[in-house]
């Protein structure tokens, strides 16, 4: 449920008018008034108008941010709209500590504090694990919440670097409709509608729809989405909701750009607005799921929320791996490449389908035991997944080439791959957790929680035949894990505007993660590898400043993963690597809210001065390059990363905004010889309000059109988006 602001109180009913035939002084008969139900406030979404929120559900149940002993960053609908962030990856790019691995074109390639975020399924929707495989859009997002650091006590498997939670828009008790139209660079055209209807005294229906079409300089994308939700019993003892979500994305993937290395630094080459793939390339993804929810409010103040969700997620990728050919018969180098340099396009294909069913029930209440106040959270969640994958479904090579001077040249090659053979994966997880926030004194609180997970998975791989006729038989086996995840924290709250805390939490990753769903070794040794385990220690504070208009947070953290397991999914040999141990230590900073009634700010920054592979079985290559080894700084772990956004209302009808995204230098994972330079990109916004209901907004992202390596893989990169200009007309009625 979203955080809500208080609306204007309902007008009191006027007394009945006297009959027209009455005269002054006549005695009037006593009138019997109908029973009136008085509601103290009407729920309306706060996040439409604010960058700051006070409550969250990312920690299970509705909690104040100040009662969570970890760093939490919240991107509200207002921030998402102000910056025109319609893609989930764009939202994550405004989150400090987040980096991207290139190549797989989805959120499962996200890193947080240098640790894998999405491979274990650490992206959630309304507190429930979101399916992988699909490209996410923000059209139905009320806000996006990110909790930093180990969090398996709350979420189970995964969550080493943290967890991302997308909060869906919910019906509320006010008639409100909103339509927006955007046109922009790359022939972008987008229409979005948000329609909320009050259907009864305690019921409402909300419909969010979206249509998006863009050429993207050749990397086309066409998507549409619909999310209807009906909610009834709002504010009563028993509240229900039922919703459906569907998102379809069809387009092309700008899979990779080749690089040159000069003095150990990656030199970006091809322009970001150049698509060198084939017109027959495609990246088609979809997500369809339904959710039923029931919230029971007990007379003693307790709440029991139960959610049931079933969904289907799919991806079909056929992309082109872009490489330089030869120049004049010699290998292409940075000194001899140019407009006539040959571009080769080798196929890369992946196909996947995943069906998931989840049931989750969370109970929260406040008790007074032993002279102390206890805020109890407890729950159970059941998760079942049936997945089919083929991560090497490329088909034959087209042999078609182009040159650096001829991007998007219209080449096309028929998809002759046929029906894919699938590896199959089924997973079942039962999680039980309990957490107590106990008031030790008027100013000190102790947070203690424990979770138990019983994880079961089975794998089946298909038989393969190599080009030389070698047959690799399929394998089948299963794994069973029973795991405990503790969490403990101490809060010091000397007043209602400041909190200081220290916390300790753990996480784990099983060998059956959401990235490959394969054993990875014909003898089954990878699947039998014990889970990776991690721990996070954090000391920080949270303060409400400027008469509670601004929320500020700062924290020192130490995150460590031990018994680490790494596997190269593109390796011809089915190998796995136990690199052993790594850590990342640094500071987090967050600020969101208003400095003055006219001046708003959102800022988050991660500083990781210390990050190291502490133990590894990798051997340093003879030339000093190759895979990262013990003592190296882990890949995709920059020292500095963050985002700034600020707006100021310069005139009653005119609001201006300015932002920056920045990241210092970093290495790809598995390549110690290539370092991407740091970068800063700048954004700007101007919004003019014709009336309170009608606005026109201009957004310019990457103002300087900077060319930089945004996402990295061990042998190539994906460039950051080029300069983009967008104009959005919005009308509220």
Whole-angstrom distance, CA of residue 546 vs CA of residue 558: 31
On whether residue 152 sits in a domain, the answer given is: yes
Q: Give the rounded percent of residues in the chain with a pLDDT score beyond 90.
A: 69
* Residue 206 φ then ψ, to 5°: -130, 135
* Residue 90 φ then ψ, to 5°: -65, -40
Among 405, 276, 261, residue whose Cα is nearest residue 332: 261
- Which 3 state secondary structure label does DSSP give 262? strand
Contact 121, 139 (CB under 8 A): no
Query: How confident is the model over 67-82, as a mean pLDDT?
Result: 96
Q: Which residue has the tokens 């997970």?
A: 453
Min mean pLDDT across 323-327, 357-361, 414-418, 483-487 is at: 323-327
- 577 Cα distance to chain centroid: 28
DSSP state of 216: G
Note the pLDDT of residue 460: 84
Contact 255, 277 (CB under 8 A): yes
On whether residue 2 sits in a domain, the answer given is: no
Query: How confident is the model over 339-359, as a mean pLDDT?
Result: 94
Q: Which residue has the tokens 């010889």?
A: 673
Q: How confident is the model at residue 457 (pLDDT cuts 50, 70, 90)?
A: confident
The encoded tokens of residue 470 equal 């070698």
Note the pLDDT of residue 707: 96
On whether residue 39 sits in a domain, the answer given is: no
CB-based contacts of 110: which residues, under 8 Å, 6+ apart? Answer: 92, 98, 99, 100, 101, 116, 117, 118, 123, 164
Note the pLDDT of residue 516: 45
* Residue 352 CB neighbour total at 10 angstroms: 26
* Residue 183 CB neighbour total at 10 angstroms: 14
On whether residue 44 sits in a domain, the answer given is: no
Contact 2, 169 (CB under 8 A): yes
On whether residue 10 sits in a domain, the answer given is: no
Contact 101, 161 (CB under 8 A): no
| 30 pLDDT above the threshold of 60 | no
The pLDDT tens digits for 172-199 are 999 999 999 999 999 999 999 999 999 9
Q: Which residue has the tokens 């009959």?
A: 19
| 157 pLDDT above the threshold of 50 | yes
Note the pLDDT of residue 81: 96
The pLDDT tens digits for 375-387 are 999 999 999 999 9
- 635 Cα distance to chain centroid: 20
Note the pLDDT of residue 475: 80
Q: Give the rounded percent of residues in the chain with a pLDDT score beyond 70.
A: 88
Among 683, 712, 636, 718, residue whose Cα is nearest residue 97: 636
For residue 384, CA distances in Å to 360, 425, 454, 579 come to 12, 11, 12, 30
Whole-angstrom distance, CA of residue 5 vs CA of residue 47: 9
Query: How confident is the model over 109-113, as a mean pLDDT?
Result: 87
More confident residue, 63 or 244: 244
DSSP state of 217: G
CB-based contacts of 733: which residues, under 8 Å, 6+ apart? Answer: 177, 178, 179, 693
Whole-angstrom distance, CA of residue 374 vs CA of residue 67: 13
DSSP state of 152: H
Note the pLDDT of residue 357: 98
The pLDDT tens digits for 636-653 are 999 999 999 999 999 999
On whether residue 599 sits in a domain, the answer given is: yes
Whole-angstrom distance, CA of residue 683 vs CA of residue 253: 24
| 340 pLDDT above the threshold of 50 | yes
Contact 232, 240 (CB under 8 A): yes
CB-based contacts of 648: which residues, under 8 Å, 6+ apart? Answer: 598, 599, 600, 655, 656, 657
Domain of 624? Answer: 50-732
DSSP assignments along 11-56, one per residue: PPPPPPPPPTT--TTPPPPPP-PPP----S--EEEGGGT-S--SEE
More confident residue, 16 or 186: 186
pTM for this entry: 0.90
DSSP assignments along 398-439, one per residue: ---EEETT--S----------SPP-EEEEEEEEEEEEEEEEE
More confident residue, 263 or 463: 263
* Residue 153 φ then ψ, to 5°: -60, -30
On whether residue 45 sits in a domain, the answer given is: no
Query: How confident is the model over 107-117, as a mean pLDDT?
Result: 79
More confident residue, 694 or 123: 694
* Residue 391 φ then ψ, to 5°: -90, 5
Note the pLDDT of residue 56: 87
Whole-angstrom distance, CA of residue 523 vs CA of residue 515: 20
| 526 pLDDT above the threshold of 90 | no
The pLDDT tens digits for 544-560 are 999 999 999 999 999 99
DSSP assignments along 75-118, one per residue: EEHHHHHHTT--BHHHHHHTSTTEEEBSSS-SGGGEEETTEEST
On whether residue 208 sits in a domain, the answer given is: yes
Note the pLDDT of residue 336: 87
Note the pLDDT of residue 725: 98
Write out 694-709 in H/E/C secondary structure: EEEEEEEECCCCCCCE
Q: Is the dihedral of CA 208, 162, 538, 153 positive or negative?
A: positive
Whole-angstrom distance, CA of residue 246 vs CA of residue 312: 10
The encoded tokens of residue 651 equal 């005139």
Q: How confident is the model at residue 36 (pLDDT cuts 50, 70, 90)?
A: very low
Tell how strand 282-297 and strand 238-251 pair up.
antiparallel
More confident residue, 61 or 528: 61
Note the pLDDT of residue 567: 54
Note the pLDDT of residue 14: 39
What is the tally of structural domains in the chain?
A: 1
Whole-angstrom distance, CA of residue 116 vs CA of residue 675: 19
Q: How confident is the model at residue 512 (pLDDT cuts 50, 70, 90)?
A: low
For residue 96, CA distances in Å to 172, 589, 640 come to 32, 9, 8
The encoded tokens of residue 57 equal 């559900």
Min mean pLDDT across 38-52, 298-312, 567-581, 615-629 is at: 567-581
CB-based contacts of 332: which residues, under 8 Å, 6+ apart? Answer: 324, 325, 326, 341, 342
Q: What is the overall mean pLDDT for the chain?
A: 88
Q: Which residue has the tokens 């086309």?
A: 220
Query: How confident is the model over 241-255, as a mean pLDDT?
Result: 94
DSSP assignments along 200-214, one per residue: ETTEEEEEEEEEEEE
The encoded tokens of residue 501 equal 């805390």
Among 39, 40, 43, residue whose Cα is nearest residue 2: 43
Query: How confident is the model over 482-510, as a mean pLDDT?
Result: 94
Q: How confident is the model at residue 118 (pLDDT cuts 50, 70, 90)?
A: low
Note the pLDDT of residue 595: 96
Query: How confident is the model over 234-249, as a mean pLDDT?
Result: 98
Note the pLDDT of residue 510: 77
Note the pLDDT of residue 571: 44
| 3 pLDDT above the threshold of 90 | no
- CATH of residue 476: 2.40.170.20
For residue 47, CA distances in Å to 124, 167, 341, 608 come to 19, 11, 50, 30
Q: Based on the number of CB atoms within 10 Å of its own CB, is 98 exposed (0-12), middle (13-18) or buried (19 or more)?
A: buried
């Amino acid at each position: 449920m979203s955080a809500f602001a208080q609306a204007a109180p309902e007008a009191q009913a006027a007394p009945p008018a006297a009959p027209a035939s009455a005269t002054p002084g006549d005695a009037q008969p006593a009138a019997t008034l109908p029973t009136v139900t008085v509601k103290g406030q009407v729920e309306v979404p706060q996040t439409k108008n604010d960058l700051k929120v006070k409550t969250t559900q990312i920690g299970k149940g509705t909690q104040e941010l100040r009662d969570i002993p970890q760093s939490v960053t919240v991107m509200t609908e207002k921030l998402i709209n102000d910056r025109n962030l319609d893609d989930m990856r764009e939202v994550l790019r405004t989150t400090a500590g987040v980096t991207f691995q290139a190549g797989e074109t989805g959120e499962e390639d996200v890193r947080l504090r240098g640790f894998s975020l999405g491979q274990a399924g650490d992206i959630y929707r309304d507190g429930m694990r979101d399916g992988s495989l699909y490209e996410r859009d923000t059209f139905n997002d009320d806000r996006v919440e990110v909790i930093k650091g180990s969090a398996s006590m709350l979420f189970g498997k995964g969550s080493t670097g943290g967890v991302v939670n997308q909060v869906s828009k919910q019906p509320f008790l006010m008639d409100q409709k909103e339509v927006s139209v955007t046109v922009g660079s790359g022939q972008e055209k987008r229409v979005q509608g948000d329609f909320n209807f009050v259907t009864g005294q305690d019921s409402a229906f909300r419909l969010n729809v979206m249509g998006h079409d863009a050429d993207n300089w050749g990397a086309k994308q066409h998507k549409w989405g619909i999310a209807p939700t009906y909610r009834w019993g709002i504010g009563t003892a028993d509240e229900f909701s039922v919703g459906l979500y569907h998102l379809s994305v069809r387009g092309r993937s700008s899979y990779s750009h080749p690089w040159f290395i000069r003095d150990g630094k990656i030199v970006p080459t091809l322009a970001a607005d150049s698509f060198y793939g084939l017109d027959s390339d495609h990246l088609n993804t979809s997500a369809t799921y339904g959710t039923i929810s029931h919230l029971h409010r007990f007379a003693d103040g307790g709440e029991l929320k139960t959610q049931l969700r079933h969904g289907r997620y799919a991806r079909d990728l056929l992309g082109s791996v872009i490489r330089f050919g030869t120049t004049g018969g010699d290998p292409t180098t940075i000194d001899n490449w140019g407009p006539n340099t040959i571009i080769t396009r080798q196929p890369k294909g992946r196909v996947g389908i995943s069906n998931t069913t989840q049931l989750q029930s969370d109970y929260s209440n406040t008790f007074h035991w032993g002279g102390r106040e206890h805020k109890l959270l407890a729950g159970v969640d059941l998760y079942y997944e049936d997945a089919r994958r083929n991560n090497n479904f490329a088909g034959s090579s087209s042999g078609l080439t182009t040159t650096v001077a001829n991007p998007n040249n219209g080449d096309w090659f028929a998809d002759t791959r046929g029906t894919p053979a699938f590896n199959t994966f089924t997973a079942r997880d039962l999680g039980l957790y309990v957490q107590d926030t106990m008031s030790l004194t008027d100013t000190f609180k102790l947070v203690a929680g424990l979770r138990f997970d019983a994880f079961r998975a089975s794998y089946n791989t298909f038989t393969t035949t190599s080009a030389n006729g070698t047959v690799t038989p399929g394998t089948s086996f299963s794994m069973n894990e029973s795991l405990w995840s503790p969490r403990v924290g101490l809060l010091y709250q000397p007043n209602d505007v400041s909190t200081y805390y220290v916390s300790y939490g753990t996480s784990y990753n099983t060998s059956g993660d959401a990235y490959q769903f394969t054993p990875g070794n014909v003898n089954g040794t990878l699947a039998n590898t014990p889970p990776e385990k991690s721990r996070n220690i954090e000391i920080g504070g949270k303060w409400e400043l400027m008469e509670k208009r601004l929320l500020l947070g700062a924290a020192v953290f130490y995150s460590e993963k031990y018994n680490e397991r790494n596997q190269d999914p593109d390796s011809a040999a089915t190998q796995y690597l136990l690199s052993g141990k790594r850590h990342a230590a640094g500071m987090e900073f967050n600020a969101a809210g208003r400095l003055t009634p006219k001046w708003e700010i959102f800022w988050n920054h991660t500083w990781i001065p210390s990050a190291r592979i502490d133990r590894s079985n990798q051997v340093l290559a003879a030339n000093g390059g190759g895979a990262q080894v013990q003592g190296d700084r882990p890949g995709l772990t920059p020292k500095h990363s963050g985002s700034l956004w600020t707006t100021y209302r310069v005139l009653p009808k005119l609001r201006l905004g300015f932002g920056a995204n920045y990241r210092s230098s970093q290495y790809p994972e598995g390549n110690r010889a290539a370092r991407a330079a740091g970068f800063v990109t700048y954004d700007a916004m101007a919004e003019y309000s014709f009336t309170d209901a009608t606005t026109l907004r201009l957004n310019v992202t990457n103002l300087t059109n900077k060319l930089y390596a945004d996402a990295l893989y061990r042998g190539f990169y994906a460039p950051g988006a080029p300069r983009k200009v967008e104009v959005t007309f919005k009308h509220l009625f």
